[in-house]
A = this chain, B = another copy of it.
Amino acid sequence: MLGLMMQSQLTLTGIMRHAQNNFPGREIVSITADNDRHRYRYTEAFARAGQLANALQRVGARAGDRIGTLAWNDYRHFEIYYATSCSGLVCHTINPRLFAEQIVYIVNHADDRWLFIDPAFVPLLESVADQLTSVLGIVILTDEAHMPATKLPNVHCYETLLSGEHTDFEWPELDENAPAALCYTSGTTGNPKGVLFSHRAMVLHTYGVLLPDAFALQQGEAVLPVVPMFHVNAWSLPYAAPVMGAKLVLPGPKMGCGETLCTLIREENVNVAAGVPTVWLALLKYLRETDLQIPSLNRVIVGGAACPWSIMEEFEERHNVYTHHAWGMTEMSPLGTYNGRVPGGLAAEESKRLRLKQGRAVYGVEMRIVREDGVELPRDGIAYGALQVRGPWICERYFKADDTALTEDGWFDTGDVATIDADGYLGITDRTKDVIKSGGEWISSIELENLAVAMEGVQEAAVIGIAHEKWDERPLLLVVPIPGVQLNPQEVLAKFHGKVARWWIPDGCLIVDEIPHTATGKISKKDLRAQLADFHWPQLEPA
């Protein structure tokens, strides 16, 4: 026996209809390469999405075809989101910051049929065009007046492509499990892997991010996604804002510019903004220098990396802005946890301790931590293990993979090591591959690094596990001193005493001039391990 309710499908097309019916007059405001401040209403956005869907149908795009984008956050990218997904195509957002060879790999692996690119990325694409195996044509996201000269084959102008088309499009009735979007993880090892999001996952994720203890967008609010639309659908804000009738403010190529962010917030009365810590450093620096205020902003959503307390403090004390930690990953659409407002009445230290955690699982996501043998660990805030998740917006397998990405009992292993406390708060401790396995126990490289960086004279620090005859692995600390400072390895190590368990203290310390970084600026432990492949601990004394 089954329930007797309508089998309405959960699709992004439903979001489009909801916005058209309820918030036709709300605005999308953009900065683009060809317009310092473009503004129009949701009705116009969806009318143009209809034109684009007609154009794509006319050029032969068929259900399931991947349409690639290399574009910043603006209204044309928004139109592509809906025109593709809602007409049965797959919106494949590509990160233009990747190495050229990764972009080639991704476009070919995805079999992208068409690419929609910002004019700024024409040189990048020209450099790799002859290696692309599936692309039929390239559409430049601008009007005729701003079309760049290019040697790219089969190039179209976006505005010209749309101009001849009807705004009415017969949006198909899609299955909720139909694919809507594709995004590749920029994994630190191996080739990028694609996550193929279904309509169902996107809709449920949108409900999840909108919960009152998560993004909680409201009708009449204005939201500024500083997280790129090529980065897991800008954390779903292009879906969430139309659902609630919030104004979307899209900064185009000016994401990292403190002045632009400040101007947009002030002039568009932005209430909520979302992005990685770096962009908030840029904004806060600009605000300090100019002494400008941003009174409309009341909350900032920070993800992608742990937010330093100094950012949270400055936002709150100088600007009355509450900073929320969010945690997730491409494979999770991306939202896994959110740190809503911590309960009132807590002591300052306890409040800070909670706010620096990654928050609680958003309803829809389940989490557990397990030992290496798969046994679940207690939710006590102390035990830490491999963090595994499951839920309707979590990846089951990667695009074109033959095998599931899940454990035997159906959980996705995040690659993170974490604690979960009795109230569900998640604390990320380390990456599984970076944690140091010593005598059957785990040592967090991140915690040791944080302690080292806080020491006087230390500019940067990294901890990696080095194979050890007796303990399996032992931690080795690498320290870059602040220029001009002389550090003594033994004195550095001595400073760990009293701050961590004795057996956590690294067995060695190397003073180095620099530590290798990845393309995105993180410490590259992979390169570090390669550099130290020949490092050995001194031989144990015979017993």
Contacts and interface: CB of A to CB of B under 8 A. Distances in A.
A217 interface: yes
Interface string A105-125: 000000000000000000000
A367 B22 CA distance: 11
A1 to B, nearest CB: 4
Interface residues of A, number: 74
A22 B423 contact: yes
A81 to B, nearest CB: 15
B244 A196 contact: no
A423 B24 CA distance: 7
A201 interface: yes
Contacts of A6: 390-396, 406, 410, 412
Contacts of A394: 5-6, 8
Contacts of A390: 6, 8
B4 A399 contact: yes
Contact of A179 (B3, B7, B396): B3
A379 interface: yes
Interface stretch (A13-21, A144-152, A296-304, A474-482): A13-21
B177 A2 contact: yes
Contacts of A396: 4-7
A287 interface: no
Interface in A379-419: 379, 390-399, 401, 406, 410, 412
A220 B392 contact: no
Contacts of A212: 210, 212, 216-218, 244
Contacts of A208: 207
A217 B394 CA distance: 25
A207 B214 CA distance: 12
Contacts of A398: 4
Nearest to A425: B22
A64 interface: yes
Interface stretch (A273-281, A358-366, A486-494): A358-366
A211 interface: yes
Given A8-B390, A391-B8, A23 B423 contact: yes
Number of copies: 2
A197 B3 contact: yes
A348 B175 CA distance: 45
A8, A177, A399 — most chain B CB neighbours (10 Å):
A8
Interface in A63-99: 63-64
Nearest to A422: B24
A210, A213, A216, A390 — most chain B CB neighbours (10 Å):
A213
Q: Main SS of the interface on chain A?
A: loop
A330 to B, nearest CB: 12
Contact of A3 (B15, B177, B213, B244): B177
Contacts of A198: 2-5
A4 B195 contact: yes
A3 B216 CA distance: 27
Given A207-B207, A212-B216, A5 B393 contact: yes
Contacts of A440: none
A199 interface: yes
Contact of A392 (B8, B343, B344, B406): B8
Nearest to A411: B6
Contacts of A134: none
A2 B179 contact: yes
Contacts of A243: 211, 363
B340 A219 contact: yes
Contacts of A200: 3, 5
Nearest to A201: B5
A47 to B, nearest CB: 16
Nearest to A199: B3
A424 interface: yes
A523 interface: no
Given A1-B64, A8-B391, A8-B392, 4 more contacts: A2-B198, A4-B179, A5-B392, A17-B366
Interface of A: 1-8, 10, 14-15, 17-18, 21-25, 63-64, 175, 177-180, 195-201, 204, 207-208, 210-213, 216-220, 243-244, 333, 340, 343-344, 360-361, 363-364, 366-367, 379, 390-399, 401, 406, 410, 412, 422-424
13 contacts: A1-B64, A4-B401, A5-B396, A6-B394, A6-B412, A8-B391, A8-B394, A21-B366, A207-B207, A211-B244, A212-B217, A219-B340, A220-B344
